[in-house]
Amino acid sequence: MDKIIIEQGINLKKVYSAGFVVFKTIGDRKHQFLLLKKFNTQLDLPKGHLDLGETTMQAAIRELKEETGIMNNYIVDDEFIFEDVYYTKYKRFIF
């Protein structure tokens, strides 16, 4: 899962995150979606990185509670998956 690759001389680490699309239905046709404002400019879904040994569902439920306080009592579709895998600069710290 944490495969390190080298691209143009930079170490890149493969990162996985999990989360939910949170929405509220109003009437027959209107929906409100929950987006979180991060870094004062970026809108994002409630999601986060997987902890060691967590499944994507466990991570998504944990992140939903941590970031919004919402419990997983209302999961409508637990089979829908959107996978976003990306690479970040990998830094190694030596103490």
CATH number, domain with residue 19: 3.90.79.10
pLDDT (0 to 100) of residue 13: 73
| Domain membership flag for residue 56 | yes
Helix (H) or strand (E) holding 59: helix 56-68
pLDDT digits (tens, 9 = 90+) for 50-68: 888 998 888 888 998 999 9
Q: Are 40 and 74 in contact (CB under 8 A)?
A: no
| Domain membership flag for residue 31 | yes
| Domain membership flag for residue 95 | no
pLDDT (0 to 100) of residue 27: 87
Please provide the size of the chain in residues: 95
- Give the residue with greater pLDDT, 29 vs 86: 29
Q: What's the domain range around 79?
A: 4-89
| Domain membership flag for residue 20 | yes
pLDDT digits (tens, 9 = 90+) for 9-43: 666 777 788 888 888 888 888 888 989 888 778 88
pLDDT (0 to 100) of residue 8: 59
If one counts the domains in the chain, the total is 1
Q: What is the pTM of this model?
A: 0.68
Residue 11 CB burial class (10 angstroms; 0-12, 13-18, ≥19) = middle
